[in-house]
Amino acid sequence: MKKDGWTSKKPSGVSVDYIYLKPGKTIKDVEEEDVFIGKEALMKYLDKIEVFDLY
């Protein structure tokens, strides 16, 4: 995903979940559409778009 331009941010404060961002998106964009908090949210999105069938 990194080669496709996705980025991730380390957890801050008491959070333990990484933040995953689509290319060109920021933390202020739409959660669960452009920004995914935690691995579960990201995997749910990837399953929805069937990304594994694209590669």
pLDDT in tens, 14-31: 989 999 999 999 999 999
Give the residue, 12 or 39, on which the prediction is more confident: 39
DSSP 1-55: -GGGT-EEE---TT----EEE-TT--TTS-BTTTEEESHHHHHHHHHHHTGGGT-
Q: Given pLDDT bands bounded at 50, 70 and 90, which one contains residue 35?
A: very high
Its pTM stands at 0.81
The predicted model gives 39-55 an average pLDDT of: 80
What's residue 20's pLDDT?
Answer: 96
Count up the domains in the chain and report the number.
Answer: 1
> Domain containing 39: what range?
2-53
